[in-house]
Amino acid sequence: TFKNRGEVVLQPDKISELITDIEDGQLVLTALLGNRNNGAFRKEIQLWVVRLATVQERIEEWLQVQHLWIYMEAIFSGSGDIGRELPTEQKRFANIDRQWIKIMKAARDNPNVIRLCCMDDMLANLLPHLQSYLEMCQKSLAGYLEAKRTGFPRFYFVSDAQLLEIMGQGSDPASIRPHLLSITANVATLTFDSTGPTDTEVTSMGSVEGEQVLFSQPVKAEAKIVPWLNQLLEEMQRTMKDVMRSMVSDIPAYLQEIQPHTLEAFIARYPAQVALMGIQIMWTHDSELSLNRLRVEKGLMALTFKKFKTLLDLLVAMTRADLPALERTKIENLITIHIHQLDAFAALMKLQKRIRNALDFDWLKQTRFYWKTEDDNCIMQITDVQFDYCFEYLGCNERLVVTDLTDRIYISCAQAMGMHYGGAPSGPAGTGKTETTKDMGRACGRYFITINCSD
């Protein structure tokens, strides 16, 4: 039975067997029509050719209508949220459903397929009618989904089936949990707090790795899913910006002088994404300061390099302890990025005789991060191109090892995006084209989507 509704659908195995029998019969009839001794039976043979062709046509129509009916039945049956938002289509489908059940009852009462398809006009009259109305429902549903995607653009990257599942349970905010990773970079869980019999608030978000971040302001989860998902994204970005602003104000206290206890406290105090940004902002600030005072304070470059080297040594020492997986990944990411920063500064030290200040190209070509207090914003700069940091929550994803080739790709992509062009990395399979592009997206704090166009 279909969803405890009885025998209301054609059984695929039996229909497949029936179609095979019809095709075999048509082959036999074709052979008989070609026999020159068929004079006495020719009219009867032609009659059966027409009958079998009619049966085949009816079965094909029937299966098409059944496919549409099953699809719509899952959406409009019961008291789902979509049905309440599309009351006209709900009523239309209820009428279609009654007609469909009528057809299936007739099929059970009259199991002879020839008699049902050829000698009864019910199928010939009802099937085209049902198909037309089901297609109208489908068109209205497509318009409904398009409206939801317009209201929450990230739904454009979700399949129709998944979006229908999300919208079908929209009145239950917690039902969004399995779909969070389809609409965010790394929000895998949300913490719901019931503030009343009908009110629910989202108080924090968590990553796949298990990191938890408390929202600056709770998000009220409403029955209408699109508005509160937009609020959720806004609060996610606002929270990350608030945490980053707090982190920047703490850099002088924690990272002015690199000490084991202050470094450990800094890393433990902030989410992985923010702690990494703190190291990058500190490196950018101290490097520029050294370059601008290069001609005034001769030993400043060496002192700055020593500070960066001490930071790396302390991070490596921290990994020798017995750490939880999340903390280990967090520190490994800091090491991965800071090794490149240390190498980049070492290269600048070798060139300090010809570098005048922080406007030299050897410095400007680096990926640099700044917190602009006057704009209350974080920015990333590569050469003369500037990107606003987007504050998408990235969790504690492993970062890519940055090489000289990676730097050149970043420069090329940044120049292209600065001129509003796209980029087309090329190379053999498995060399890191996608991962490098994704890592640049993470560096900008952006929501990154991978679409395999060959699928």
For 41-67, what is each residue's pLDDT tens digit?
A: 888 889 999 999 999 999 999 999 999
Judged against a pLDDT cut of 80, whether residue 156 lies above it is answered with yes
- From residue 248, how far is each of 154, 268, 274, 275, 329 by CA, in Å? 30, 15, 9, 10, 22
279-292: pLDDT as tens digits: 999 999 999 999 99
CB-based contact 316:331 (threshold 8 Å): no
- Per 3-state DSSP, the chain is made up of helix, strand and coil in percentages (nearest 5) of 65, 10, 30
113: buried, middle or exposed (CB in 10 Å: 19+, 13-18, 0-12)? Answer: middle
Please indicate, yes or no, whether residues 233 and 107 belong to a single structural domain of this protein.
no
Per the structure, the count of domains in the chain is 2
Is 267 part of any domain?
no
Please indicate, yes or no, whether residues 35 and 87 belong to a single structural domain of this protein.
yes
Judged against a pLDDT cut of 70, whether residue 145 lies above it is answered with yes
Q: Quick one: CA torsion of 412, 416, 422, 423, rounded to 10 degrees? A: -10
CB-based contact 15:59 (threshold 8 Å): yes
Look over the chain and give the mean of its residue pLDDT values, rounded to a whole number: 91
- Name the percent of the chain lying above pLDDT 90: 69
Domain boundary among 151, 185, 212: 151
Mean pLDDT, range 232-258, rounded to an integer: 95
Please indicate, yes or no, whether residues 179 and 143 belong to a single structural domain of this protein.
no
For residue 22, what is the domain's CATH number?
1.20.140.100
Is 365 part of any domain?
no
- Which residues on adjacent β-strands are paired with residue 377? 372
Judged against a pLDDT cut of 70, whether residue 454 lies above it is answered with yes
For residue 182, what is the domain's CATH number?
3.20.180.20
Contacts of 327 (CB under 8 A, 6+ apart): none
Mean pLDDT, range 288-316, rounded to an integer: 93
Q: Which two tokens stand for residue 273?
A: 């994404």
Is 133 part of any domain?
yes
- Write down the pLDDT at residue 79: 58
pLDDT band (50, 70, 90) for residue 198: low
- Top pLDDT among 121 and 91 is at 91
Please indicate, yes or no, whether residues 140 and 198 belong to a single structural domain of this protein.
no
pLDDT band (50, 70, 90) for residue 324: very high
Mean pLDDT, range 183-195, rounded to an integer: 90
Please indicate, yes or no, whether residues 134 and 210 belong to a single structural domain of this protein.
no
Please indicate, yes or no, whether residues 45 and 145 belong to a single structural domain of this protein.
yes
Mean pLDDT, range 240-268, rounded to an integer: 95
Is 71 part of any domain?
yes
Helices (H), 173-299: 180-183, 225-255, 260-269, 272-292
Is 401 part of any domain?
no
Judged against a pLDDT cut of 80, whether residue 306 lies above it is answered with yes
- Write down the pLDDT at residue 78: 64
CB-based contact 334:279 (threshold 8 Å): yes
Ramachandran angles phi, psi of 71, nearest 5°: -60, -45
Is 197 part of any domain?
yes
- Report helix, strand or coil for 413: helix
Ramachandran angles phi, psi of 319, nearest 5°: -75, -15
Please indicate, yes or no, whether residues 16 and 93 belong to a single structural domain of this protein.
yes
pLDDT band (50, 70, 90) for residue 83: confident
- Write down the pLDDT at residue 195: 67
Please indicate, yes or no, whether residues 209 and 81 belong to a single structural domain of this protein.
no
Is 402 part of any domain?
no
- Top pLDDT among 313 and 116 is at 313
- Write down the pLDDT at residue 36: 82
CB-based contact 174:225 (threshold 8 Å): no
- Write down the pLDDT at residue 232: 96
Q: What per-residue string of b and e applies to 64-92 under the rule 16 or more CB within 10 Å gives b?
A: ebbebbebbbbbbeeebbbbeebeebbeb
CB-based contact 130:65 (threshold 8 Å): yes
pTM for the complete prediction?
0.85
d(CA 403, CA 384): 21
- CA within 13 Å, CB half, 177: 12
pLDDT band (50, 70, 90) for residue 158: very high
Please indicate, yes or no, whether residues 78 and 128 belong to a single structural domain of this protein.
yes
Domain boundary among 224, 239, 254: 239
Mean pLDDT, range 282-306, rounded to an integer: 92
Domain boundary among 190, 223, 239: 239
Please indicate, yes or no, whether residues 62 and 102 belong to a single structural domain of this protein.
yes
Please indicate, yes or no, whether residues 95 and 189 belong to a single structural domain of this protein.
no
Which residues constitute the domain of residue 194?
173-239
Please indicate, yes or no, whether residues 138 and 17 belong to a single structural domain of this protein.
yes
CB-based contact 304:290 (threshold 8 Å): yes
pLDDT band (50, 70, 90) for residue 1: low
Is 88 part of any domain?
yes
